[in-house]
């Protein structure tokens, strides 16, 4: 028998035996049940996932709350009294410069020596709210670079850059009693009863300012030693083109040559040449304001007059002791 024949014979016997095999009833039922019955997959309850999400959100919120409380507890406590003190000190700061350089330097030195917490207290002690109220009137009277009190922008800039060594507020009579400078201030005017004076000492010298106001008029005068800039604005009545506004068009910057603009805007006359007609020529066509200066020896009084006639202005200027005493 060949190998091939033996293999075919063996295969035939195997198929015959396999086709006649019948499994036991118990084994067959188990196989059928396993093939036909499927178990449902394990799944988490439907309410479990939302519950887990809510728990996570709650944990995040609690962590954020604890972090915020930790930051607030680290901040220094600020009492209401400290806030009020800081506000009063900040409100008084603009008047500290005009209240006096000596007090300002003392307050500034105390602020630098103390720490950040002591700086607020030093500023409040240097300028209290009660002191700030009179200082407000003093600051209003102090010369400002707005062209109203100062006769020239250049003079305002010069004083703004000067170092103030002292300053004080005076009454009209106290100002007139100041040596040399007070003699150039006009006497008390019945139509301008309210008077406020201001004196300050600069590196360039002492400056005396007087403001007189009434129901319809206002006069301000600034007295100081004559400067080189003021000497350049000195004019002669024989040269009306240097001071007569009726000969000039507006604006002056377009109608007046540049080399004469400073004199035309704010001329200074000698005391001997001042007259009513000269002041008439200084009246501005729109507002009627008169700006001019008067040279009296080594000193200059520069005026800004509003709501006044030329005669009233002349009478006020010549009422100063410099004119009445025959100096």
What CA–CA distance (Å, rounded) separates 159 from 9? Answer: 134
**Could you tell me if 243 and 264 are in contact, meaning their C-beta atoms sit under 8 angstroms apart?**
yes
What CA–CA distance (Å, rounded) separates 323 from 327? Answer: 7
| Residue 92 pLDDT | 46
Provide the b/e sequence for 248-269 (b: ≥16 CB within 10 Å).
beeeeeeebeeebebbbbbbbb
**Coil, strand or helix: which one is 38?**
coil
| Residue 28 pLDDT | 72
**Could you tell me if 184 and 301 are in contact, meaning their C-beta atoms sit under 8 angstroms apart?**
yes
DSSP one-letter code for 245: G
pTM: 0.53
Low-confidence ranges of the chain (pLDDT < 70): 18-24, 37-47, 70-165, 326-327
Q: Read off the pLDDT of residues 97-108 as tens digits, 9 standing for 90 and up.
A: 444 444 444 444
Question: Kindly report the CA angle at 91 between 201 and 137, in degrees rounded to 5?
Answer: 45
Q: How much is the CA Rg of the chain, to the nearest whole Å?
A: 49
Neighbouring CB atoms inside 10 A of 161's CB total: 9
**Coil, strand or helix: which one is 128?**
coil
| DSSP annotation string for 264-321 | HHS-EEETTT--HHHHHHTB-TTT--EEEEEEETTEEEEEEEES--HHHHHHHHTTSH
What CA–CA distance (Å, rounded) separates 77 from 252? Answer: 60
| Residue 253 pLDDT | 83
Q: Read off the pLDDT of residues 179-234 as tens digits, 9 standing for 90 and up.
A: 999 999 999 999 999 999 999 898 888 999 999 999 999 999 999 999 999 999 99
| Residue 142 pLDDT | 46
For 270: left if phi > 0, alpha if psi spans -120 to 50, otherwise beta; the answer is: beta
Neighbouring CB atoms inside 10 A of 25's CB total: 8
The token duo for 163 is 């170092």
To the nearest 10°, report the CA torsion of 150, 152, 155, 159.
Answer: 30
- Cβ burial of 58 (10 Å; 0-12, 13-18, 19+) is exposed
**Could you tell me if 208 and 178 are in contact, meaning their C-beta atoms sit under 8 angstroms apart?**
yes
| Residue 117 pLDDT | 44
């Amino acid at each position: 028998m060949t190998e091939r024949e033996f293999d075919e014979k063996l295969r035939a016997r195997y198929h015959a035996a396999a086709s006649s095999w019948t499994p036991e009833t118990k084994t067959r039922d188990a196989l059928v049940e396993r093939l036909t019955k499927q178990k449902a997959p394990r799944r988490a309850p439907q309410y479990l996932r939302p519950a887990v999400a809510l728990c996570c959100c709650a944990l995040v919120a609690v962590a954020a709350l604890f972090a915020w409380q930790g930051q607030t507890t680290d901040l220094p406590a600020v009492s209401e009294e400290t806030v009020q003190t800081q506000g009063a000190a900040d409100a008084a700061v603009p008047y500290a410069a005009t209240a006096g350089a000596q007090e300002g330097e003392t307050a500034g030195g105390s602020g630098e020596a103390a720490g950040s917490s002591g700086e607020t207290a030093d500023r409040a002690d240097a300028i209290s709210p009660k002191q700030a109220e009179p200082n407000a009137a003093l600051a209003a009277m102090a010369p400002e670079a707005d062209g109203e009190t100062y006769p020239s922008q250049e003079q305002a800039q010069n004083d703004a850059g000067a170092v103030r060594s002292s300053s004080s507020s005076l009454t009209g009579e106290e100002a007139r009693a100041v040596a040399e400078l007070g003699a150039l201030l006009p006497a008390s005017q019945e139509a301008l009863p309210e008077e406020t004076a201001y004196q300050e000492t600069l590196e360039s010298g002492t400056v005396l300012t007087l403001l007189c106001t009434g129901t319809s008029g206002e006069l301000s005068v600034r007295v100081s030693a004559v400067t080189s800039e003021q000497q350049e604005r000195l004019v002669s009545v024989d040269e009306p083109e240097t001071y007569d506004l009726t000969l000039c068009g507006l604006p002056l910057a377009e109608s007046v040559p540049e080399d004469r603009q400073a004199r035309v805007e704010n001329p200074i006359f000698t005391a001997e040449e001042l007259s009513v007609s000269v002041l008439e020529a200084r009246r501005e066509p729109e507002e009627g304001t008169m700006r001019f200066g008067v040279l009296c020896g080594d000193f200059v009084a520069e005026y800004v007059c509003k709501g006044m006639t030329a005669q009233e202005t002349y009478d006020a200027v010549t009422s100063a002791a410099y004119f009445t005493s025959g100096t």
